[in-house]
Amino acid sequence: MKSINKYSRRKILKTTSAVAAAITLNSGFPAILKADNNIKIGVPTILSGRVAQLGISVNNALKMATDNFNSSGGLDGRNIELIVRDSRAKPDEAARVCRNFINSDKVDAIINAEASGASFAVQEVVRESGTLCLHTVSETSRLTADPSIRTWNAFRFSRQGIHDAVGSARYAATIIKEKGLKKWMSVNPDYAYGRDSDDTFFWALEKFSPGFEILGKGWPKIFQPDYTEVITQIAREKPDAIYTSLWGGDLVSFIDQAALYGIFKNTQLFAINLADYTTMSAVKNLPEGLHSATRYVAAWPDTDSNRNYDKSYTDLYGDHPTNWSWEASVGIDYLISAIRETGGTDNKKIAEYMKGKQKESFMGVGEGNTVTIRDNDQTIVDYSIGWGTTIPQDPFMNNIQAADWNTIAELEKEWLTDKGWL
């Protein structure tokens, strides 16, 4: 008791005040009172688990662009500060991370690098808050195609399922004509993206090459380690062709396991998500002649600006960019231009700037190598979509054919009308 009594309340208050004053003087004003001038961008993405590499590739792409912006003086001395957080691919966690960005970090914009399920959750958060949001990963068409889901402050910089489906179907139709492929099967992951991809691909294929027969559909669950039951079904049905939207490690496992059955000797595989460096380099003995869309490869589009992008990224990080990287790069590029042109971070001005904006890009195939953020649905068009066949070594793809954006736009309209979204 004596030792406690020796420190009177007055003495404790004095000492505490002195320490607080010393800390304050030493560090200037408390951080909360400092004028925080940076432009803050919140990035919810997946940094753990099976697709962590993709989230990291988003972070790399964004950092590459913002480092350039900051080192060139920023916006009148204001730098861009990226705040990247892991959602663990969970929609509720992505929504929570987003709310924190808005309420606690007071971000100026959100670059949403989440898969489809979580992107819908993020969309609802930004609809409420009015925060500017750039979706750079989700490919589910509905996110921007369904007018009831759209919001004035959200833009899509990622591929869209219906665009890829039309591009894929048109390419498949040429191979059907060439090789007489009649009997089809499909293997797609059993969740929103897989079902969307299956529906839109066969819907579009019917337009280009009617009269094919679907022998069966396999729906493995996401991250399933063993595909035997699907592969035995394929081996039994002996289709001429298989369409799959499996991706990442799941696609690698499927191809490795199917190769044991000799499936690819007589059956053409159309794997929309194969041609990404991380996936192709992981397949054991990548079979020659598999068909894939060009997710991201340095060989396509076959332009200097694309090769330069690949080189800059590879020099910095020792690895090739991914499909998620280019989408994030194009998104941040638009945002930086908008910040510069509008002279600040007013979300309404930036949204107005982006709507209908055509911009030169390494992934652009529009006039003068441009991509465009379409005015009516605030989604990217005229980005590179190509299909080709695999070869076992770098550059991994050859015989690449470009998709035709006029055809894509035409069939997209028809699809939107069918859905009642136009």
By CB under 8 A, is residue 347 in contact with another protein? no
Shortest approach of another protein to residue 44 CB, angstroms? 17
Minimum distance from residue 210 beta carbon to another protein (Å): 24
Sole binder of another protein in the list 261, 264, 317, 421 (CB under 8 A): 261
Q: Measured from the CB of residue 315, what is the shortest distance to another protein in angstroms? A: 19
Structure tokens at 83: 């705040």
CB of 222 to another protein, least distance (A): 9
Q: How far is the CB of 323 from another protein (least distance, A)?
A: 14
The window from 135-143, 211-219, 266-274, 351-359 that contacts another protein (CB under 8 A) reads: 211-219
Of 362, 354, 313, give the one whose Cα is nearest residue 335. 354
Judged by CB under 8 A, the chain residues 262 through 301 that form the site for another protein are: 262, 278, 281-285
Smallest distance from another protein to CB 49, Å: 5
Q: What is the DSSP letter of 221?
A: P
Of 34-42, 97-105, 245-253, 306-314: span binding another protein (CB under 8 A)? 245-253
The tokens for 192 are 């929103």
The whole-angstrom separation of Cα 133 and Cα 155 is 6
Candidate list 232, 376, 399, 417; residue touching another protein; CB under 8 A: 232
Binding region for another protein (CB under 8 A) out of 93-101, 176-184, 247-255, 302-310: 247-255
Tell me, by CB under 8 A, how many residues bind another protein.
Answer: 42
Q: Which is nearer to another protein, 152 or 261 (CB)?
A: 261
Rank residues 216 and 366 by Cβ distance to another protein and give the closer one: 216
Which of the ranges 124-132, 153-161, 171-179, 224-232 carries the binding residues for another protein, by CB under 8 A? Answer: 224-232
| Distance in angstroms between the alpha carbons of the first and the last residue of the chain | 80
Residue of 15, 24, 37, 48 interacting with another protein (CB under 8 A) = 48
Minimum distance from residue 169 beta carbon to another protein (Å): 23
Q: Tell me the residue ranges of DSSP E strands in 277-327.
A: 291-296
Choice from 161, 167, 218, 321 touching another protein (CB under 8 A): 218
Q: Does the footprint of another protein cover residue 358 (CB under 8 A)?
A: no
Interaction between residue 393 and another protein (CB under 8 A): no
> Residue 381: phi, psi to the nearest 5?
-135, 170
Contact status, residue 265 vs residue 208, Cβ threshold 8 Å: no
Whether 156 contacts 379, CB under 8 Å: yes
Two structure tokens written together for 120: 């819908």
* Selection from 259, 277, 307, 249 nearest residue 393 by Cα: 277
Give whichever of 218 and 386 is closer to another protein, judged by the CB atom: 218
Figure out which of the listed residues 252, 272, 336, 339 binds another protein, where binding follows CB under 8 A. 252
Query: At 69, is the secondary structure helix, strand, or coil?
Result: helix
What tokens were used for 402? 């470009």
Question: Closest separation between CB of residue 311 and another protein, Å?
Answer: 20
Query: What's the CA gap between 68 and 51, in Å, rounded?
Result: 27
The DSSP-derived string for 14-39 is: HHHHHHHHHHHHHTSS-GGGS---PE
Please tell me the number of Cα atoms within 13 Å of 324 on its side-chain side: 26
Token representation of residue 166: 């039309």
> Which of 246-254, 289-297, 355-363, 366-374 is the region at the interface with another protein (rule: CB under 8 A)?
246-254
* Binding of residue 132 to another protein (CB under 8 A): no
- In single-letter form, the type of residue at position 394 comes to D
Amino acid 115 reads A
Residue 128 C-alpha from the chain's centroid = 23
d(CA 72, CA 146): 40
Q: Does 144 bind another protein (CB under 8 A)?
A: no
- DSSP class of residue 203? H
**DSSP states of 130-154 as a string?**
--EEEE-S---THHHHSTTT--TTE
How near is the Cβ of 254 to another protein at its closest, in Å? 8
Give me the residues that bind another protein (CB under 8 A), please.
Answer: 48-50, 52-53, 56, 190, 216-219, 221, 223-233, 235-236, 248-250, 252-254, 256-257, 260-262, 278, 281-285
